[in-house]
Chain A
Amino acid sequence: MSSDKKNSGQKDSGQKISGQRNPGKTRTIEVNYLARVEGEGGLKIKVKGGHVQEVQLNIFEPPRFFEALLQGRRYDEAPDITSRICGICPVAYQMSTISAMENALGVTVDLPIRQLRRMLYCGEWVESHTLHVYMLHAPDFLGYESAIHMAKQFPEIVKRGLQLKKVGNELMQFLGGREIHPINVRVGGFYRAPLKREFKEIVQRLLWARDAALETVKWVSDFSFPDWERDYEFVCLRATDPVYPIEEGTFISNKGLAIDVNDYENWFTEEHVAHSTALQSSLKGRGAYLVGPLARFNLNFDRLSPLVQETAKSIGFVPPIRNPFKSIIARSLEILYACDETLRLIEEYQSPSVPSIATVPRASIGFGATEAPRGVLYHRYRLDDNGLIQEAKIVPPTSQNQKSVEMDLWQFVESRMSLPKKELSWQCEQAVRNYDPCISCAAHFMEVRWEEIE
């Protein structure tokens, strides 16, 4: 247990795979850091007599204490502060915050504002999902260290990915001012709402992106996937309108859960484990659950647009999908949906008479949950008479998936013990990347450490 750390030497810079045989009976094999996830974390797997003894997803992202530093801030400052929790999905943070604040203040915004928010969120789905599909996950399936390495053999594919990602960013720039930490959203609406005619250029880009997303779905569906499944409890939102869940909804699961957002903390709990600066969530009395594209796809297939449903059926990808490695297909179908949905929304959009409605502070509690690219993101705030935050609670998707990741690895490693360690380590990294973990959110990056006792 002790030699592994010492020997890693470059714990922070060394992501190379190293192995060593100790004298005596304990064999320690370690892989420092897991690459291509957003943040800082590691993985420890302890094996004895050919069986897994322990799996720990270590998250050593330095804590930043957001829930504490939000105390004393005014409600309308919160969206810009919480967006800094994650540079990859700032819109998700802004939207969950805004949803909770508007819930606290009893505010309901008009249709055009809701449409603009949903479009902005679609931009983030396209950007974040494409980053993951092309740059972080696909290289695993094709055996490359990174998308840049992959670009040498598949330049056209990598360029398509970059351009698709760019369209997501362009949509966020257009509606939000910039793609990372957008500046145009506020409690009550937007600072500036675009006119209908301003959408002309982005429509052309989205038409291209929708085609590129179709190609993406076909591309990833031809990858070879480990034949492996698990019986998950999938948790996601179900939207009030008959659309796929993004910016609002109530909680559902494939195992009977159906609750309002303000009931979340009665059903879910967080615990603090020593090996992580992220808190681990579980469903009370039921344990691990899975959030993200697979959960949304499985439970909201009927809410996808006809184009996406047809495309999914044409590649034989229909619910229930229980193979986590196939999340890359679900993610690609969601890119397609986000493009298709934005085009539909633009068609319906009529610019609002005012870009935002006034909000008045009052002592209150507000709840908000939206679907971040990685899964549902829950916020709760308690405000005083002046609208100053007294208490904040934020449950990001990665901490909700953490237990599920550990269980996947436990069973996955157990079933593949005969593989060479180097290969198995890579497959473990890949299994973690199935979740597109955003460890900045959860607190952050991966290190795989094997400890084998013979």
Chain B
Amino acid sequence: MKRKKPTLAVWKFASCDGCQLTLLDCEDELLAVAGQVEIANFMEASRAVMGGPYDLSLVEGSITTPHDAKRIQEVRKQSKFLVTIGACATSGGIQALRNFRDIKEMTKVVYARPDYIDTLATSTPIASHVTVDFELRGCPIDKRQLIEVLTAFLLGKRPGIPTHSVCQECKIRGNVCVMVAHQTPCLGPITHAGCGALCPSYNRGCYGCFGPKETPNVEKLGTWLQDHGAKNADVIRSLQTFNVWSEPFREGVAKLNPKVELKK
């Protein structure tokens, strides 16, 4: 008796393609995954497309156009489980820097004919538009964590993704703390684990590409960094990268710089 394989779909919104590429980068596991699930829609990899509904949808990218705002509704309707992959889909991505600026002005900087461009004033995460079943973090996501999510889904369990900070990963890896030993500014204390403390392992401070950990004290780290010689503007910019629109980072920035106005 042959059980019907669950169907997998991969969707792209505003993004760099890096997170869905992570699936193709699972060189040792890709064919095994393809043996367990029916890859029903993965445009970067295949021109064969099956109609929905899909058992699992992986969604990459943020919502930045009126068209995409409608499309995500359709994807949600077609998907039993919807998992966002990466910083764009989970917190709006680097392109959410537009949320602090005038989009008309920005369009003029890049395009000779702003009238050809149909875009929203904001870049927002998928969860701002539809219900999301699980959010996988990272810019880009981590391969091992992606495999964990796919496996958990196949087994019908919740993915085992720790929500602690990068600091704990440094301890596990036996890294010397770059802040203590080298006075290198590091966002590790407030950043979600998942990378395996990559930057500190290369003598570099964490730059927060996995976004906020659970209940981070962003303001405290900000003032601590300033007490140790960092300029306020530099601290703020360090929080304004790939997860700039995540709530804890946004609030942290607002507290460190009350002048920043937030668009609704």
If A86-B16, A181-B209 touch, whether A169 touches B27 (CB-CB below 8 Å) is yes
Asked if A63 and B139 sit within 8 Å, CB to CB, the answer is: no
A-B contact pairs, 29 of them (CB 8 A): A13-B41, A14-B49, A15-B47, A35-B44, A38-B21, A62-B68, A63-B111, A64-B95, A65-B95, A80-B241, A84-B93, A87-B19, A87-B21, A90-B18, A135-B24, A145-B46, A148-B34, A151-B34, A162-B27, A169-B25, A178-B198, A180-B18, A180-B22, A180-B140, A183-B204, A183-B207, A429-B47, A444-B17, A445-B12
Asked if B110 and A63 sit within 8 Å, CB to CB, the answer is: yes
Whole-angstrom distance between the alpha carbons of A37 and B47 in the complex?
10
Q: Which residues on B sit within 8 Å (CB–CB) of A66?
A: 110
- Name A218-243 residues within 8 Å CB distance of B: none
Instruction: Tell which of B17, B24, B139 has the most Cβ of chain A within 10 Å.
Output: B17
**Size of A's binding interface in residues, CB under 8 A:** 74
How far, in Å, is B201 (CB) from chain A's closest CB? 8
**Size of B's binding interface in residues, CB under 8 A:** 72
* Contact residue among A15, A85, A163, A273 (Cβ-Cβ distance under 8 Å from B16): A85
Q: Which residues on B sit within 8 Å (CB–CB) of A13?
A: 11, 41, 49, 51-52, 74-75, 78
Asked if A15 and B199 sit within 8 Å, CB to CB, the answer is: no
How far, in Å, is B231 (CB) from chain A's closest CB? 10
A-B contact count (CB 8 A): 206
Residues of chain B touching chain A, judged by Cβ–Cβ distance below 8 Å, are: 11-22, 24-25, 27-28, 30-31, 34, 39, 41-49, 51-52, 61, 64-65, 68, 71, 74-75, 78, 93-95, 97-98, 101, 105-107, 109-113, 116-117, 119, 123, 139-140, 195, 198-199, 201-204, 207, 209, 234, 237, 241-242
Q: Which residues on A sit within 8 Å (CB–CB) of B64?
A: 62-64
Asked if B204 and A87 sit within 8 Å, CB to CB, the answer is: no
Q: Which residues on B sit within 8 Å (CB–CB) of A191?
A: 199, 202-204
Asked if A36 and B44 sit within 8 Å, CB to CB, the answer is: yes
A127-160 interface bits toward B, Cβ cutoff 8 Å, 1 = contact, 0 = none: 0000100011000000001111101000100110
Minimal Cβ-Cβ distance residue in B for A86: B16
Not counting A65-B109, A181-B18, a sample of 11 additional A-B residue pairs whose C-beta atoms are within 8 angstroms of each other reads A15-B43, A63-B111, A65-B95, A84-B16, A84-B93, A149-B46, A162-B28, A169-B27, A180-B140, A181-B209, A274-B113
Whole-angstrom distance between the alpha carbons of A65 and B95 in the complex?
7
How far, in Å, is B236 (CB) from chain A's closest CB? 11
Whole-angstrom distance between the alpha carbons of A146 and B46 in the complex?
5
Answer yes or no: A382 CB below 8 A from chain B CBs: no
Q: Which residues on B sit within 8 Å (CB–CB) of A37?
A: 44
Minimal Cβ-Cβ distance residue in A for B52: A13
- Name A3-41 residues within 8 Å CB distance of B: 10, 12-16, 33-40
How far, in Å, is A145 (CB) from chain B's closest CB? 4
Whole-angstrom distance between the alpha carbons of A225 and B241 in the complex?
45
